[in-house]
Homo-oligomer: A and B are copies of this chain.
């Protein structure tokens, strides 16, 4: 079944889907969406105007999956192996709790501030970052890195013994912030080791190759040995 992913390379939700597609070794065609320009064609696919959207198949069997939640849910059902949400109820509950944590709490307290100031303002031509917002985002980020560090002291991966969508959710959000050089890795060696393991996986490679015109990545961004 042909898969086409409509995404924005520096969107954390899109990145979660790309990591899952990569881990499941599902090849796909990609279409990059400049979501901030509200392209009319894209709004026909997803009325919210948000990336990612995955189109599977065509003709009468065409399935349009809008938003990471629908795409990742479908991937676990239609392409079950390797399982990325855990096999037992407790693992799945923990992975889902953490996905919600990163998609909501992390974005609200940390990622949202930093990416608005450093990325969206440039994409929209809204001028220089506001330092108070950046500071608040960086403070929030530090708290979240402490939390991740605590989890990793008792676990190999965020949700337990196995790599899961929780790791991809966290890594997707962190990796975009890392593109802009704002993750204080040196202060969190445990988190750095975990991120290094993720960064070395083949599914991560395409993310490290992302470059967006006018937005330069930090020098260490694609370095596996950062």
Contacts and interface: CB of A to CB of B under 8 A. Distances in A.
B101 A74 contact: no
Given A96-B67, A147-B47, A89 B101 contact: no
A118 to B, nearest CB: 21
Interface in A78-94: 78, 89-90, 92-94
A63 B93 contact: yes
A33 interface: no
A70 B77 CA distance: 16
Contacts of A94: 70
A89 B93 contact: no
Given A48-B105, A101-B48, A78 B70 contact: no
Contacts of A89: 63, 74, 77-78
A67 B147 contact: no
A220 to B, nearest CB: 30
B99 A74 contact: no
A203 interface: no
Interface of chain A: mostly helix, strand, loop or mixed = helix
Contact of A93 (B47, B66, B99, B105): B66
Nearest to A101: B48
Interface string A133-171: 000000000000001000000000000000000000000
Contacts of A92: 70, 73-74, 77
A96 B77 contact: no
A65 interface: yes
Contacts of A147: 47
Given A48-B101, A48-B105, A100-B69, A64 B93 contact: yes
A63 B47 CA distance: 37
Contacts of A93: 63-66, 70, 73-74
Interface of A: 46-48, 63-67, 69-70, 73-74, 77-78, 89-90, 92-94, 96-97, 99-101, 105, 147
